[in-house]
Every structure is written in structure tokens, then in C-alpha cells.
Amino acid sequence: MSPSPTPPAGAAGSLLSLRGVSKSFGAVAALTGVDLDVAAGEVVALVGDNGAGKSTLVKVLSGVHAPDAGTITFESREVSIPTPAAAQQLGIATVFQDLALCENLNVIENLFLGREMRALRLDDVAMEVRSRELLTQLSAKIPSVEVPVAALSGGQRQTVAIARSLLGDPKVIILDEPTAALGVAQTAEVLNLIERLKERGHGVLMISHNMADVQAVADTVAVLRLGRNNGVFDARTTSAEELVAAITGAADNVVSRRAGKARPEAGDAEDAAEGAVDAAGAQEPADDRPERVAPGGLRKGAGDE
């Protein structure tokens, strides 16, 4: 096991845990002894350079590839995921990067595509109601459930694909590069959507190349490098530079450095915050009594020069 400087909820609290997962394609070791934990209501970002093994890991979890070694534990039970249908039945839904939507079909038709409508005895009205419900729950901005997907923006399509993944009532949702093709506003929309998933108690595993997105929405960042774990980081206290260093291996000892630094850094941040409060507190009496004395005058003077 590789060291985890800021471990998330331990395996005990995890919805989904991988331990020692390995997968080779011939001579290529795509994954070697990979550990990963995703808890309910947690957004885990999975990051790594091209070829790091992210897609292979997603495929192992979605029943596309069988691992050569290692264990997968889901809801405290060791499981195997031999097929995509098995992943769905377990409660692991994956939104692949290509989204697999049908351009010419409308939102409702896309949501229910491939579902056994008759077995579920869902009629058109029920499907429309369910579609609206789902999109409302996600606070999704879709103009109408009756427009063809071809007329939707990239962000709206991503929303439809995510909504569709929710129909099977999954516990874990895996999103492969959900914002890769999106502009700023659409990215914000999809990040909001991920927040909704988290609020609803889903575990979310998000593959991403974008450190800003990762820091905006993830709780935990798991770094893969050359098919191996290269650290698990707290998204709130780790800088983009530190993540990039772990991704690229720029500092080979980044994991141990963070392990050593984690506490002093938190302390420094607290000291800085206290300092700010103290400074503000000290200024208050001055502001209350001699109006316009020090701060205003100084600022004006500085500005004039």
C-alpha cells in the first residue's frame, strides 16, 4: 500500500473500496496494486497523466475489464464485476466520456433508452413525469424534455447522461472527464450537478484533468501515476501545484513531503487566520473613535503618489 498523507474515510466507512487492483494488457501493466476508497456523499477525483491507468480503473469498476489481481469491496461485501450489467445491478453507474446519447431522440427517449419499459409498465406519461422529476432533483437546466438531444449544449447533454445513469438508482456514479469538452458556464452547471449528487448521498468518482474543477467540487483527490497510487489528498488543503507534482512525479517524494507537512501547514493557516482576526479587531476601536484618521488618509495618500 502506498502512503496516504490525508486519508479520506477509511475502508470501514467506504461504499466502494479497491485494494491491490492490478491489470495488465500483455506486457503493459496498466494498473499495479491500486487502492481506492469512495464513501457515500463523497466526491473523489481520480487524476493522472495520459496512460496513468484512469480509464482502465473505470473499466474495471464498470465491468468492462476483469482485474488480474486485487479485491473490490462494495457495501462491505467483496464483489466481482464481470459485466456492465453486473456493475449496474450492484449500483455502480458510469457515464463514459462519449456519453452515448442518440442525437435524434429527445431527452425522455434518451433517458429511457434501453430500459425495459414494458416490464416496468411505464407509459409515455410516466416516463415524462419521471424525466422531469429527475432533472428537477438535479436542478438541471434543460429547456424541454421533448427537444432532441442534438439541440442541447454540451453541458445539457452531460446532464442528460448523468440523469440517465441515475435511473437505476446507483450508489456510486463514475464520471469520465465530465467537463472536458465544456465551456466555463456549462462546466459550472455540471459541477453544480455533481454537488447535487453528493448532497443526495451518492459516492462520486470523477476523472478529470482540470485542477480547478477538481478543487471546486472534490473532497478527495486520488492520484495515479504509471498505473500506481501516487497519493490521496484532501482537495481543500492541497494546491494545484502539489497535485500536478504528484501527477507528473516532479517531486518523487511529494507523498512523504506532504505527510510531514500536513500538520504544520494546517497550523500555519490557523495562525494566519487568527492574525487576520486580531488585526481586524485592533482596527475596530480606531474606526469607531477617531473617524477618518489613519486608514482613509493613508490610502488616499498612497493612491495619489
Ligand X SMILES: Nc1ncnc2c1ncn2[C@@H]1O[C@H](COP(=O)(O)OP(=O)(O)O)[C@@H](O)[C@H]1O
Strand (E) positions, the chain? 14-25, 28-39, 43-47, 69-74, 77-79, 92-95, 172-176, 203-207, 220-225, 228-234
Return the ∠ at Cα 75 (arms to 73 and 81), rounded to 5°: 45
- Cell numbers given for 117: 419499459
Pick the closer one to ligand X by CB: 160 or 245: 245
Measured distance CA(148)–CA(32) in Å, rounded: 43
Helix axes 254-288, 240-248, angle to 10 degrees: 170
Cell 504544520, located at residue: 264
Candidate ranges 34-42, 52-60, 110-118, 188-196; the one touching Mg ion (CB under 5 A): 52-60
Q: In what order do the strands lie in the sheet with 92-95?
A: 92-95, 172-176, 203-207, 43-47, 220-225, 228-234
Pick the closer one to ligand X by CB: 55 or 156: 55
Measured distance CA(213)–CA(235) in Å, rounded: 11
Least distance (Å) between residue 30 CB and Mg ion? 10
Residue 84 contact partner, candidates Mg ion, ligand X, none, CB within 5 to 8 A by sort of partner: none
Least distance (Å) between residue 72 CB and ligand X? 17
Residue nearest to Mg ion (CB): 55
Least distance (Å) between residue 28 CB and ligand X? 5
Q: Which of 20, 51, 148, 168 binds ligand X (CB under 6 A)?
A: 51
Least distance (Å) between residue 49 CB and Mg ion? 10
Pick the closer one to Mg ion by CB: 58 or 182: 58
Is position 208 an interface residue for ligand X (rule: CB under 6 A)?
no
Pick the closer one to ligand X by CB: 59 or 164: 59
DSSP code of residue 13? G
Least distance (Å) between residue 228 CB and ligand X? 11
Q: Which of 34, 52, 61, 173 binds ligand X (CB under 6 A)?
A: 52
Q: Which of 14, 17, 55, 208 binds ligand X (CB under 6 A)?
A: 55
Pick the closer one to ligand X by CB: 28 or 185: 28
DSSP sequence for 151-172? GS-HHHHHHHHHHHHHTT--SE
Is position 56 an interface residue for ligand X (rule: CB under 6 A)?
yes
Footprint on this chain of Mg ion (rule: CB under 5 A): 55
Footprint on this chain of ligand X (rule: CB under 6 A): 25, 28, 30, 48, 50-56
